[in-house]
């Protein structure tokens, strides 16, 4: 495998989309695809596809196109989806429940292993067979279990405190749903899902009639 340092975030953000399209093709029994056909399907230029994949050494063969299963597997490798990772979820509210109940994450190697909340009614219950613990057990849990990703679904002030606490005990990756940008040290990865921001973007675009892909 070619070294892949300094790949732009724009390329990285496109990789999951490739992975998703290739997965759909596989499901539909398609075993190879030309770059022009893939380009048409994904509404991006064939040259963009070649450029993106060349960042990782390229995968196409002239006159043959792409082997769907191989390319799917390789993009999965690049995205590290074949490593098993444990995720804990902070907040057993609606978003926390939605994440804990999500059935697709295990397909990309990610398993929710525990949920934390400060609501006494939630503590001790299970969501999708995953136990809900009191937030004051959070640090102890992380110290004693393998935790790769912390999903934060609590309000912004609590989110800031939780992020600081989990980073302090060595967590390297945060999936943040709180409407706040978390200030974390270098070397910690944060991926945000800002629902209200997304809805504001929709609000702008629907009034300015642009089509977003």
| CB closer to a second copy, 50 vs 172 | 172
Q: How far is the CB of 199 from a second copy (least distance, A)?
A: 6
Q: How far apart are CA 167 and CA 53, in angstroms?
A: 33
| CB closer to a second copy, 102 vs 137 | 102
User: Is the separation of the CB atoms in 184 and 171 below 8 Å?
Assistant: no
Exposed, middle or buried by CB within 10 Å (0-12, 13-18, 19+), for 67?
A: middle
| CB closer to a second copy, 8 vs 47 | 8
Q: How far apart are CA 162 and CA 174, in angstroms?
A: 10
In the Cβ-directed half-sphere of 104, how many Cα atoms lie within 13 Å? Answer: 3
Provide the mask over 114-143, with x wherever binding to a second copy is found by CB under 8 A and - wherever it is not: ------------------------------
Q: To which H or E segment does residue 133 belong?
A: strand 130-134
56 binds a second copy (CB under 8 A): no
> C-alpha 129: how far from its chain's center?
22
206 binds a second copy (CB under 8 A): yes
Return the range that interacts with a second copy (CB under 8 A); candidates 30-38, 136-144, 158-166, 205-213. Answer: 205-213
**Which of 78, 135, 152, 162 is in the footprint of a second copy by CB under 8 A?**
78
Provide the mask over 4-43, with x wherever binding to a second copy is found by CB under 8 A and - wherever it is not: xx-x-x--xx-xxx-xx---x-----------------xx
Instruction: Please list every residue from 85 through 104 that binds a second copy, using CB under 8 A.
Output: 85, 93-95, 97-99, 101-102, 104
Instruction: Please list every residue from 138 through 177 that binds a second copy, using CB under 8 A.
Output: 148-149, 172-173, 175
Q: What is the largest CA-CA distance in the chain?
A: 63
CA-based nearest residue to 168, from 150, 194, 193? 150
């Amino acid at each position: 495998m070619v070294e892949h340092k300094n790949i732009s975030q724009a390329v990285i953000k496109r990789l999951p989309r490739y992975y998703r399209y290739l997965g759909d093709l596989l499901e539909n029994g398609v075993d190879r695809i030309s770059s022009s056909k893939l380009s048409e399907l994904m509404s991006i230029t064939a040259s963009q596809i070649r450029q993106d994949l060349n960042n990782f050494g390229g995968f196409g063969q002239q006159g043959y196109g792409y082997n769907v299963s191989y390319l799917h597997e390789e993009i999965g490798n690049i995205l590290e989806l074949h490593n098993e990772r444990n995720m804990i979820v902070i907040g057993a509210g609606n978003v926390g429940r939605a994440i804990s109940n999500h059935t697709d994450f295990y397909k990309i190697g990610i398993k929710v292993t525990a949920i934390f909340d400060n609501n006494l009614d939630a503590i001790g219950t299970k969501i999708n067979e995953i136990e809900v613990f009191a937030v004051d057990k959070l640090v102890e849990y992380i110290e004693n279990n393998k935790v790769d990703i912390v999903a934060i679904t609590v309000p912004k002030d609590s989110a800031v405190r939780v992020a600081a606490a989990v980073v302090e005990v060595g967590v390297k990756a945060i999936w943040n749903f709180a409407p706040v940008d978390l200030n974390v040290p270098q070397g910690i990865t944060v991926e945000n899902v800002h629902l209200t921001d997304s809805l504001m973007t929709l609000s702008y675009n629907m009034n300015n009639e642009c089509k977003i892909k």
